[in-house]
Amino acid sequence: MLYDLELIKVGKIYDNGTPAVVDFDLAVVKGEFIAFLGPSGCGKTTTLRMIAGFEQISSGTIRVRGSAINDLPPERRPTSMIFQNYALFPHMTVRRNIGYGLEVKGLSAKQRAAKVDHLLATLSLEDVADKRPDKLSGGQRQRIALARGLAVEPEILLLDEPLGALDANLRKTIQAELKILQKTLGITFVFVTHAQSEALSLSDRIVVMNQGRIEQISPPHQLYTRPDTPFVARFIGRNTILDGTVKGVVGDQVLLETALGSLSGRANGPLVGGQAAKIVIPAEAMEARAAGPAGPVSRSSVNVVGATVRRSDVVGHVSHIAVALPTGTPVALEGHVDKYPPDAFPAGGDIVLTWKAAEATVIPAA
């Protein structure tokens, strides 16, 4: 298969000895929208800059459509990069900013005008074409940066936190525009972000990074429902994570002995009896009900744990219930007021939590 972009065992060690990226493997098909997501300093920007050619790689290979680009300078790579601060030229008009890359490539004024006019129209910038970027709004500047990146017709557009400078509302609007633009153009986007919601709503696949290494590469939904590692389970969504020891494995079902009794979930990864493992239960999978008069939960029931309500609030139509497990672990539940009526779970009350085994994931502890 011919991939648009391949990173094969790519590594980066900075001159000061910092291993910023380690054994990064990724294969991207044409038209995919990929996000690099992870905490500050995990190596997202370094990886993007290595693809763009602004940073030398220390090991491995980067290929675009089958050809290694390791030794090409940035301007000869079939990539364009959009920076978080947009890096627009303040003294040039919007039109010239957009056409700058074409000027560098030596296109005639006529050829440039045709391409720039088309991009001005595509990104609704016609009215500001002759203004300077510093007179324009954040959203407009973002679109100019995008137009400038697209003008050189890259195979791959690299975006470094492109929406980071925008306020929350504008961010949502531009997110939607970006997604439509990407699908219309059909070109590959690789996008760096801190913002989980942005990665989840925009991407076809997300690369979750931690300390220079890839933790998981999955479509957004799968990161929520099937985390591969404890880091991903902590980083994505709102999961309750409990430690235990594998008691038995039947097919993909695992029974785990924990401080809260026997809990079961679906296996993700190789698991054998006696092994230390973690069960990951998404908040959405938890069902709460008031504890009956029968008293404490029987330890022989699977996926039934007692808990105490700490706080309960209603915001609009949504009830938010903060509870604590007997181990002290906090769990945040939320649900429509039809499901969890106000006052149904008063603070200090005992409740019972349950979930379907298929909706919880069991992963190796390390």
Ligand X SMILES: Nc1ncnc2c1ncn2[C@@H]1O[C@H](COP(=O)(O)OP(=O)(O)OP(=O)(O)O)[C@@H](O)[C@H]1O
Which residues make up the interface to ligand X (CB under 6 A)?
14, 16, 18, 20, 38, 40-46, 194
Instruction: Note whether 256 and 277 are within 8 A (CB).
Output: yes
**Six-digit token string for 84:** 């978080």
**Helical (H) or strand (E) element with 323:** strand 318-324
**Closer of 11 and 306 to ligand X (Cβ):** 11
**Residue closest to 80 by CA, chosen among 144, 192, 159:** 159
Residues in the chain: 366
Q: How far is the CB of 42 from ligand X (least distance, A)?
A: 4
Neighbouring CB atoms inside 10 A of 242's CB total 22
**Closer of 20 and 147 to ligand X (Cβ):** 20
**Closer of 194 and 310 to ligand X (Cβ):** 194
Q: How far is the CB of 40 from ligand X (least distance, A)?
A: 3
**Closer of 172 and 194 to ligand X (Cβ):** 194
**Closer of 38 and 60 to ligand X (Cβ):** 38
Count of alpha carbons within 13 Å of 362, Cβ hemisphere only?
Answer: 33
Angle (CA) 178-180-186 rounded to 5° is 100
Q: How far is the CB of 45 from ligand X (least distance, A)?
A: 3
Q: How far is the CB of 199 from ligand X (least distance, A)?
A: 12
Q: How far is the CB of 54 from ligand X (least distance, A)?
A: 10
Q: How far is the CB of 334 from ligand X (least distance, A)?
A: 28
Distance CA 294, CA 53 (A): 66
Q: How far is the CB of 251 from ligand X (least distance, A)?
A: 38
Instruction: Note whether 251 and 362 are within 8 A (CB).
Output: no
173 — phi, psi (to 5°)? -60, -45
DSSP codes of every residue in 59-125: EEEEEETTEE-TTS-GGGSSEEEE-TTTT--TTS-HHHHHHHHHHHTT--HHHHHHHHHHHHHHTT-
Q: Specify whether the backbone of 143 is left (phi greater than 0), alpha (psi in -120 to 50) or beta.
A: alpha
**Closer of 102 and 166 to ligand X (Cβ):** 166
**Closer of 15 and 338 to ligand X (Cβ):** 15
